[in-house]
């Protein structure tokens, strides 16, 4: 899911126990910080590392962007979203609501 589209969902559900964590897989600091500032993203944004710090490719094996995991309060990955299409926000919101209702 494109990051700016997550911001309204974050604002809408954060008080209900929902969080967003973004990780820049390419670790392009300059472009990422500019993008985050321009789009006004308020949730935590992290930067992927190298070697043992390679979380994106190393730990999770993610090679396609954007990829998102929706994790419940017990730490279970209950929904995976790859890519972006129009209308995906609505689908994602439904999934968030389901997980929040658990």
Partner 1 sequence: MKLIPPRGRTALGLALLCLLAVPVVAQDAADPFEQAREAFMAAEGFDARMAILKEFLSEHPNHAEAPDVLQAGADLYIEDRDDRPAAVALAEHQLTVTTDAEIVGAVRGVLLGLYAHPVYAFKLETLVTEHYDPATMTYGQHLNVLEAAAAAESWSLVDAQFKAAMPKANAETFAADYPDRDFSAEEIEVAGRNREGLIVTFAGWSQANQGDAGKAIKMYKQADEMLRKSYLGVPTNDLYRFWGQTLLMQGKSEEGFEKLTLAALYGGDDEADAIARKGYAEFRPGESFDDFAWTVRTKHAPEMTDFSAGNYQGTVQSFHELKGEKATLVAFWFPT
Interface ranges with partner 1 (CB under 8 A): 1-3, 6, 9, 13-14, 16-26, 28-29, 31-36, 44-49, 53, 55-56, 59-62, 64-73, 75-85, 87-88, 91-92, 94, 96, 98-100, 102
The tokens for 74 are: 């017990």
Whether 99 and 78 have beta carbons less than 8 Å apart is answered as yes
Shortest CB 28 distance to partner 1, Å: 6
The tokens for 11 are: 């604002």
Of 83, 90, 101, the closest CA to residue 18 belongs to 101
Shortest CB 40 distance to partner 1, Å: 15
Shortest CB 99 distance to partner 1, Å: 4
Contacts of 78 (CB under 8 A, 6+ apart): 70, 71, 72, 95, 98, 99
Which CB sits closer to partner 1, 35 or 40?
Answer: 35
């Amino acid at each position: 899911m494109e990051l700016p589209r997550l911001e309204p969902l974050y604002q809408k559900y954060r008080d209900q126990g929902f969080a967003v964590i973004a990780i820049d897989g390419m670790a392009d600091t300059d472009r990422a910080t500019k993008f985050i500032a321009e789009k006004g993203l308020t949730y935590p944004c992290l930067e992927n590392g190298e070697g043992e710090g390679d979380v994106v490719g190393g730990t999770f094996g993610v090679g396609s962007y954007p990829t998102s995991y929706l994790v419940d309060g017990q730490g279970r990955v209950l929904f995976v979203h790859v890519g972006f299409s129009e209308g995906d926000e609505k689908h994602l919101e439904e999934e968030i609501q389901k997980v929040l209702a658990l």
